[in-house]
Structure 1
Amino acid sequence: MNPNFIRISLLLLTTDLCFGNIIDVRVYGTHGKNTTFTTTIKPTSDPFFSVSWAVNGSFIITSTISNTIVEPKYADRTTLFRETGSLELRNLTNEDSGEYTVTIIPASGHLISGAAVLEVQSKIPTPTVTCPPSTEGMSEVTFLCDDGDTSNAKQWTRDDQPLLPSDRIAFLENNRILMLKGVNRTDTAEYRCNVSNLSDHEVGTCQLTVYYGPDTPTVQQHPNPAVEEERLTLSCASDSLPPAAFTWEFQRRPLVPGPQHVIAELDEDHLGNYTCTARNDLTGLVVSTVHTLNGSGVPASGPMSLIMVLTLVGLFQQ
């Protein structure tokens, strides 16, 4: 149902009595929006002699073949469809709530009448949804949906998928509060609070970011195997949000920070233990991996040269 344009049908009765038996149909409208009272009458070739609408017994509009009279306060807010007797009422206010009656006098035949009860409800404001940034491993995170009215229905979704109660998901205060337990990185998503009443619907959103890591770093060597007097690159990587900062140590001596350590021309003095440390200042986690280079001699490619082939021994520790 489109909340901006609510259509209702009036059950119209043909009777010999002046007003007949009026059938009440309760409908709901939203403050500031429109509604249309739609009859079940099909247009005919002969126009109605007259169509009249009233609310709570007070005149709204009467239209005859030759003239139309409208109550001044409805002049800019109503449109009468004479072919069917339907009435559009625009820019609803709370004062528009009440019983609406229609009386139609056909060119020939019996008088037709019908009624509907309209209840105008307040427009739902856009809800405010709060979900503070979180870190992986937190025991819980709480979402709050505030629309100023605890009576409105509230439903939660994550990336457009409905959320249901589980061992990790709980709802409090008539779904006003969503509690997520055992926070992990896969909980990063867009969360929506869908607020509705009988006539209106609004959505509030928030993007939950779960910070995590760094995971245990991995080190790659290029080229592998490496050769003495050639360039060697050690690359360190770790899954982390925000991205981790990297530092290197060689035999416990600090090196230039960064995810890569480059040796322009490899010689025997470069053999040993290289420690890559990944740090995430937001989560406070620091994780390291040790990478060991060992050398073994091979036959020389020339009479006065010696090629040192380095083999990679992976030693990982946290």
Structure 2
Amino acid sequence: MEKRGEGTLAIIMLALIQGFLSTGAVEVRPSMNPAVVGASVTLSLSPSTALHSGSWTVGGSLILTWTGAQQAVFPSHTGRATVDIQTGALTLTSVTVADSGLYVVQSVKPQLQAGASLSVYVLISNVTLKANPTDLMEFKSSAVVTCSVSSGSSLSFLWLNSSSEVTGSDRVQITDGNSTLTIVNVTRYDQGPFRCLVINPLSNSTSAPVNFTINYGPDNMALTVNGQNTTSFFVGSNLTLLCSAQSGPEARLQWAFRGETLNTTGPLLELLSVSEKQSGSYSCLASNHRTNVNRNITTNIMVAKSPLSGSEQRRVHVGLLSLLLLVGVLSSLSGKL
């Protein structure tokens, strides 16, 4: 039987070299292609042709032969392969991935040879991601995520960050047949969510998302006074100092005046009815307990008296009122004249 298989393989190879696998207009057509594992597939001749005898092979190995009403199935396909002795159609039951290949039918009466390729796939199920650890330090840690499936064959992997495809770069490595994603020296923009899309010709499935916690900062600090660029104010003004810093986790903010720590934390420092004594440097100190980084930003505020003192302002007001009264009297006299 082994010698017969080798002879058939030689015949098939010769046919491929000559550039044909069919005689005349007869073609082999699978009932489904690609096929899912476990399905039944029938390879029929089109147009239907009565074959009195012949053989079927896959990848050069014999599946079965028949003459008239008699057929012989080779051990590799016992119980899974049958032939319609009238039409020569081959039926395979409970197909497996190993059943993928080039199927060729040959007949002497009538003279015929035709073939077709069949692909069998396992449906994809249960796509999962494994990432360890997920709590990372910016510029110091690397993220490694592995994608796996419970079942599936001929798999293609695609990585997504939110809805954008992740591609390789100096920092991004996609290895192990694209099933492993490595991001070297993560940044705050590598938080995710990351997903893995797995595809084969019959199915596709996407994993649940994985997010990373990236610890960074504090940096990019900013400090404003009353939302303005100016830092000079008059006595009696109300001031609101606002401090911000980019940080993950959120930075702790502490205020200081002239280098001395104040009893105020948080982004706001409010100063009501300021006096000249409150002129000086105001600092916002930002600290991150995860990165152990401390930064600060300082602004110098000048508080000065108004150009006119209170008594001077009162005298000006009285003078203006007297002048207005005088103008009113003169206008009245002018009208009478």
Match of 2:307 in 1: 299
> Structure 1 segments of 4 or more deviating over 4 A?
31-41, 96-99, 114-120, 148-151
Contact 1:96 1:118 survives alignment (8 Å): no
How far off is 1:276 after superposition?
Answer: 0.5
Contact 1:27 1:116 survives alignment (8 Å): no
What pairs up with 1:60-99 in 2 under 5 angstroms?
Answer: 95-96=94-95
How far off is 1:180 after superposition?
Answer: 1.2
What pairs up with 1:1-318 in 2 under 5 angstroms?
Answer: 23=28, 25=30, 27-30=33-36, 56-57=81-82, 95-96=94-95, 120-131=120-131, 132-148=134-150, 152-204=155-207, 205-222=209-226, 224=230, 225-251=232-258, 252-303=260-311
| Deviation sequence 1:231-251 (CA, Å, 0-9, x none) | 111111112233322111223
CA distance in 1, matches of 2:238, 2:176: 64
> Structure 1 length as normaliser, TM-score?
0.59
Residue identity matched to 2:283? T
CA distance in 2, matches of 1:185, 1:298: 48
Where is the helix percentage greater, Structure 1 or Structure 2?
Answer: 2
Q: In 2 relative to 1, CA 118–193 (structure 1 residues): closer, same or farther, beyond 3 Å?
A: same
Q: Name the SS for the 1:185 alignment partner.
A: coil
Q: Name the SS for the 1:207 alignment partner.
A: coil
Q: How many equivalent pairs are there?
A: 238
Contact 2:28 2:46 survives alignment (8 Å): no
Q: Name the SS for the 2:194 alignment partner.
A: strand
How far off is 1:141 after superposition?
Answer: 1.7
| Deviation sequence 1:60-88 (CA, Å, 0-9, x none) | xxxxxxxxxxxxxxxxxxxxxxxxxxxxx
Match of 2:3 in 1: none
CA distance in 2, matches of 1:58, 1:274: 92
How far off is 1:228 after superposition?
Answer: 1.1
Higher RCO, 1 vs 2 (CA within 8 Å, ≥6 residues apart): 1
CA distance in 1, matches of 2:185, 2:179: 20
How far off is 1:35 after superposition?
Answer: 9.6
How far off is 1:259 after superposition?
Answer: 0.5
CA distance in 2, matches of 1:33, 1:137: 51
CA distance in 1, matches of 2:243, 2:178: 45
CA distance in 1, matches of 2:42, 2:301: 81
Structure 2 portions without partners, runs of 5+: 1-21, 48-79, 85-92, 101-113, 314-337
CA distance in 2, matches of 1:302, 1:57: 113
Q: In 2 relative to 1, CA 303–202 (structure 1 residues): closer, same or farther, beyond 3 Å?
A: same
CA distance in 1, matches of 2:268, 2:39: 61
Aligned-pair identity (%): 22
Contact 2:29 2:45 survives alignment (8 Å): no
How far off is 1:31 after superposition?
Answer: 5.2
Contact 1:189 1:209 survives alignment (8 Å): no
Contact 1:216 1:289 survives alignment (8 Å): no
> Structure 2 length as normaliser, TM-score?
0.56
Structure having the higher Rg = 2
| Deviation sequence 1:168-200 (CA, Å, 0-9, x none) | 221222222111123222333332322223322
Q: Name the SS for the 1:206 alignment partner.
A: coil
